[in-house]
Structure 1
Amino acid sequence: MEEKVLSLAGLEAFRHCLVREERSANTVEKYLRDARAFYRFLGEDKRVDKERVIAYKQHLAEHYKTVSANSMLAAVNRLLLFLDWRECQVRLLRVQKRNFRETEKELTKSEYQRLLAAAKSSRNERLWLLMQAICGTGIRVSEHRFITVEAVRQGRAQVRNKGRERVVFFPAPLKKLLLDYCRRQGVGSGPVFVTRSGCPMDRSNIWAEMKRLCESAGVDSGKVFPHNLRHLFAVTYYQLEKDIVRLADVLGHASVETTRIYTATSGLEQKRLISRLGLVGCGG
């Protein structure tokens, strides 16, 4: 059997494959980062076989949380598939599915409002409005580039992501805020949320700007990142409408299963329900 050796040329070919598949830039970067970590783990000879991949799986299990380890293993399995080394692929670590949300990691509506107040008091109008645009529509942070002046005037944006398209509607108050902002900033066309050079804002910059609000807003920094704004939208939408299929369409999910995390009760709600059963301490 021919010996399998992972090379830098192989990693570069893998990168080209991901680009040809029209993966997003962030996905390509993430897969390559994980593939390079596996490459470094292999040591000097860079030899690959099933035993070494299993050893790497064990290494990840010991040093990372299960979700992170599985994400890295998925990238390695994708690399092995590309190289046609299927016999070296391994199963992901088993994760016990939770039927409740962890509220300590969720951003509450009052915390969101405090972040908005902090952004406004610091005179960061762009961030103040961007947070409302994400939380008021449920878009992904990477999709804010589709919020253009032209789209705002129409009251809706045509969003393309992961090979799918959907229409995102702007609530009337958000439309007004966006149009007023564009007029004051002199933005006559194209994306609304841009840097001084006119390029759409980068997600890392958005994340960093949000983090700077935490202290003055009195909000745990572990809760403050763009995706939690989308999460707050989804939870609030479902609590109001109780329509998971419609929510999946609004969020742009290919499967309703992806949306179910937003429909689960919180851990606190589940604890309260169990306490109300009255099945403990009734026979003393």
Structure 2
Amino acid sequence: MNARAPAPSVSATTDVAFDIAGLNKVFRSKDGNDTIALHDVDFSVRRGEFVTVVGPSGCGKSTLLRILAGIGRPSSGAVSIGGRVVIGPDRDIGIVFQSPVLMPWRSILQNVLVPAEVQGRDMAAARKTAMDYLELVGLKGFETKYPRELSGGMQQRVGIVRALVNHPALLLMDEPFGALDAMTRETMNVELLKIKERSGTTVMLVTHSIPEAVFLGDRVVVMSPRPGRVTQIVEVDLPKPRPISIINTDMFGAYVSGIRAHLNAVGGLD
């Protein structure tokens, strides 16, 4: 297992998907008791990489994701995607939240096509992309169904396809499988890796689950308790494609136990 300290910014290199430099976030309070959510966060992600972020509750993982998505502003520091500083929502960024937030009055295909409609994309091309991804995630034949007719796992698949329909350069995922049962969650993890392989999109996923972070990630970014800092970045050298059975191997267990021990050392576990 190869763990290292956070590396300096590498935004000058051509293979960087996004770069986080000196990021700080403070939530101001009228009573003067400010909350420091993020402190001096620095790391970069390469194009096509799958990076997972793990840490205790309240460490600023979701805050970091919102800043990357352009729906939150840092107090200082900067985030750049493709060399452009993020100052607001960007059409090159897709987002998947814990709840898929589907429109109940629209069919599954209509829900998937919402981003293409909003951004004025070529609808014929978007429809073809949507149908291809729906087939990939096992939802062929459900295009005309409505969200109420789908299980929680199926609805989350729709949310992922919706985020990918415009071919985003970066896919951000905030605890997308946290509300699912354990078996469905494992299935979704395997399917997500297949989607990632098919799309080639750069992915950053936030999770509370250390095994999930290791299974999915090319690298695992480990954050400390509040104020959130990057205390470790672990390179995950596991073979690809990754079958779910890999979680039973000694190598996988070594990654998980190593990250857990590190979190325990920095006060991230009770």
| Greater Rg by CA | 1
TM range, normalised to the smaller chain? Answer: under 0.3
Q: As a proportion of its length, which structure holds more helix?
A: 1
Indicate the structure with greater strand content: 2
Under a length normalisation based on structure 2, what TM-score does the superposition of the two structures give?
0.26
Select the structure with the greater relative contact order (CA < 8 A; seq sep ≥ 6).
Answer: 2
